[in-house]
Amino acid sequence: MSLLFILIPLVSVIILNVGFKKAMSSFALWLGLLVTVVQAVFVIFNGNFDFNITISVLNFELDKLSLVLLLSIAIVAFSSLLVGFGTIKESKKMFNFVNLVLLSIVGMNGVVMVRDLFSLYVFLEITAVSSFILIASQEDEFAFEGSFKYLVLSAVATVMMLSSIAILMMYSGDTTFISVRDGVQGTNSFFILVAIILFIVGLFIKGGLVPFHGWLPDAYSSAPAGVSVLLAGIVTKTTGIYTMIRIVSEVFGFNETIKNIILLVGIVSIFVGALAALVQSDFKRMLAYSSISQVGYIILALGTGTELGIAGAVFHLFNHSIFKAQLFVNAAAVEKQTGTRDMDAMGGLSTVMPVTGWTSVIAFLSTAGIPPLSGFWSKLIIIIALWKVGHYGYASAAILGSLITLAYFLLMQRKVFFGKVKLPSVKEAGMSFLIPAVILAIITVGVGVFFPFLVNTIIIPVGKLF
C-alpha cells in the first residue's frame, strides 16, 4: 500500500511525458487532480485499519502521523493545481506546472514514509529541486531572486544534514532510523551532539524558522499563485517541520539541550513572524510572515517533549496546512481580480467577492485560535501541554502571540474585505479559486466541530507513537 503513494504520481509523470505531448497537455490537469483525489481516498480508506500494525515496503512505513501528512499533501496539492489552472494561461507552462507538482508529491510522500536518513535526504532534495523550479517559473526578477535565495539556503541545509548523516553513520554503522537511534541514545560523544545540532539547524532552515527565515517571504510572495499555495500549505511543513517532529521524536530523542533550543526558536519565530506581519502592505508577504509565526507554535509544542505536545504539534501542522493554503488561495483570487497585492489599494472586496471574503474570515479566525474552529483546539492543546510541564512563561507568550495574530488579520480584513468599496468593477473569482476555498473552509469548520471525536481517535494517538 505505501509504495503506491510513490508509484502513482511518479507513473503519472512518466505517462505525461512519454509522447503525444499536445494531447497530454490538455489531459495533464485532470490527471494531476485525479492523483490527489486518489491519494486522499487511499488515506481515508486506510484509516479503517488497525494502526498498531506497521505496513512496510522497501523501508517505507505508514503510521497515523504519515497518514495525516499524506492527507494534507493531497488536499493542498489539489488546491494548488486548481489555482494554477485559474492563473496560468499558457498550455506549456501549465503542463510543466502539473509535472513539477506531481514530482513534489513524489518527494513529499517519500519524506513522510521513509525510515532511513539517507533516503530521507534524497526525497527532501526531490521536493526542494521541484520547488526551486516552480518558484522561478514566474520568470521575472523577483521570482528568480526568491528561488535563488531558497536554493542557496537549502544548499547550506543540505551540507549540514549530509555532514550529520555521515557522523551518525560512523557511530551507528547504518542510516536506518532504528540503527541511528540505538547508536545515538545513551552516547555522550561531543560529535554525536554536533551531528544532532547540524541536522536540526538544517531542518530549521528548511522550515523557514527564525533566524533562518530570510528566504521564505521572498519565495512565497514572488512565486506564481498556485506555487505559493503549495509552498505555504505543505512543502515547507513537510520538508522542515514534519521531518523535525519525526526525527527528534523517533531518532534523536529529547534532552534538556534539544528541548530548550526548540522552545527558544519556536517562541522567537512566533513573535518575529507576527510583528513583521503587522507592518506588511503586500498581501502575500503578510501571509508569509504569518506562516513563520504559526510554524513557531508547532515547534514550541514539540519542545515540550511530551505526548500531548507532539499531538498538539501534529494537529496544528495539519490545521495550518489547511487554513494557510486557504488564505493563499484567497490572496490569489484577490490578486487575479484586482491586479494588485497592495492591501492599501483595496477595500470592501467582501461586497463584490463574498465567497472569497467570508472564507477568508473563517481561515483567519482559525489562525488566530478563535473557537470553535480547528485552530482554536490545536492551540489549546499546545498551551495545555506547555502548562503541564511548567512552561508557564511560554504558554502565556503563546496566548499573547495569538492576540497579535488576531490584530494583524483584523487589519488585513479591514484593508482588503471590509470598509468602503474602492474597486467597484471587481467581480467574484472563478470556480478554480472558489472550489478550493470552500473545500478548505469546510475542513477548517468540520475539524473544529468534530474535535471531540477526533481527539481520541487520531490526535492523541499520534502523540503516543514515539
Residue pair 232/288 in contact (Cβ under 8 Å)? The answer is yes
All cell numbers assigned to 446: 468540520
**pLDDT (tens digit per residue) in 212-233:** 888 889 888 888 999 999 999 9
Q: Where are the domains of the chain?
A: 263-466
d(CA 308, CA 389): 10
Residue-wise pLDDT for 38-84, tens only, equals 999 999 887 544 444 444 446 788 888 999 999 999 999 999 999 99
**For residues 205 and 154, is the Cβ–Cβ distance under 8 A?**
yes
Range of lowest pLDDT (64-68, 444-448, 453-457): 453-457
- Who wins on pLDDT, 91 or 363? 363
**If you ran DSSP here, which 8-state letter would residue 342 be given?**
B
Cell numbers placing 7: 508509484
The whole-number pLDDT of residue 55 equals 45
The DSSP output letter for 47 is T
* CB 294 within 8 Å of CB 316: yes
pLDDT(128) > 60: yes
Of 125-139, 179-193, 441-455, which gets the smallest average pLDDT?
179-193
Please give the pLDDT value at position 51. 42
- Give per-residue pLDDT as tens, 296-330: 999 999 999 899 999 999 999 999 999 999 999 99
**Alpha carbons 365 and 410: distance in angstroms, whole number:** 9
DSSP 54: P
What does the pLDDT read at residue 50?
A: 42
Q: List, for residues 250-299, the tens digit of each pLDDT value.
A: 898 888 888 999 999 999 999 999 999 999 989 999 999 999 999 999 99
Residue 184 has a pLDDT of 80
Instruction: Return the pLDDT at 58.
Output: 60
Q: Is the pLDDT of residue 19 over 50?
A: yes
Task: Report how far residue 323's alpha carbon sits from residue 441's, in angstroms, rounded to the nearest whole number.
Answer: 7
CA dihedral 180, 212, 264, 378 (to 10 degrees): -80
- In the chain, the percentage of residues whose pLDDT exceeds 70 is 97
| pLDDT confidence of residue 48 | 46
Higher-confidence residue of 333 and 457: namely 333
Distance between CA atoms of 421 and 357, rounded to whole angstroms? 13
- Mean pLDDT, residues 155-167 taken together: 92
- Selection from 125-139, 143-157, 174-188, 377-391 with the highest mean pLDDT: 377-391
Q: Is the pLDDT of residue 427 over 50?
A: yes
* Entry pTM: 0.93
CA–CA distance, 228 with 224 (Å, rounded to integer):
6
Residue of 206, 314, 212 lying closest to 272 (CA atoms): 212
Tell me: pLDDT of 139 over 90. no
Residue 165 to residues 123, 175, 400, Cα–Cα distance (Å) = 15, 7, 38
Is 455 a residue whose pLDDT tops 90?
no
User: What average pLDDT does the structure give for the chain?
Assistant: 89
